[in-house]
Amino acid sequence: MDRILNLEQYLELLLGPRGTASAFTSDALRRAAWREHARELLAVVDPGSRPWAWWEYDAPEPALPWEPELAYLERCKLLTETERERLKAAGIYAASQATRKP
């Protein structure tokens, strides 16, 4: 695809659609844009967080009601070591998966 996103499309992948309108002409095009740009979009969100499109297209299961994003990522074992290090440096501690009992 190798397509450049406009600002509205970029923001939609990060934050979700504005109201009922979409910056994409179809969900298939939005999904394809996410697949192509996921890496760069993941890099701009805080550690322990994911863009809207990740939740829409890549989340392995729905979050529990009122489950914080960080808790979900930890429960599903989706936090990277880099995220854990950045969270620790920020004074936010996620439990280590290495010491968790099965």
Task: Report pLDDT digits (tens) over 66-78.
Answer: 999 999 999 999 9
Per-domain boundaries in the chain: 7-89
Three-state SS sequence of the chain: CCCCCCHHHHHHHHHCCECCECCCCCHHHHHHHHHHHHHHHHCCCCCCCCCHHHHHHCCCCCCCCCCCHHHHHHHCCCCCHHHHHHHHHCCCCCCCCCCCCC
Task: Report pLDDT digits (tens) over 39-58.
Answer: 999 999 999 999 999 999 99
Q: How many CA atoms lie within 13 A of 34 on its CB side?
A: 22
Name residues whose C-beta falls within 8 Å of residue 5's C-beta, 6 or more positions apart in sequence: 13, 33, 37
More confident position, 98 or 19: 19
Does the pTM of the predicted model rise above 0.75?
yes
Mean pLDDT of 13-31: 94
In this predicted structure, what is the pLDDT of residue 54? 97
Task: Report pLDDT digits (tens) over 80-97.
Answer: 999 999 999 988 876 655
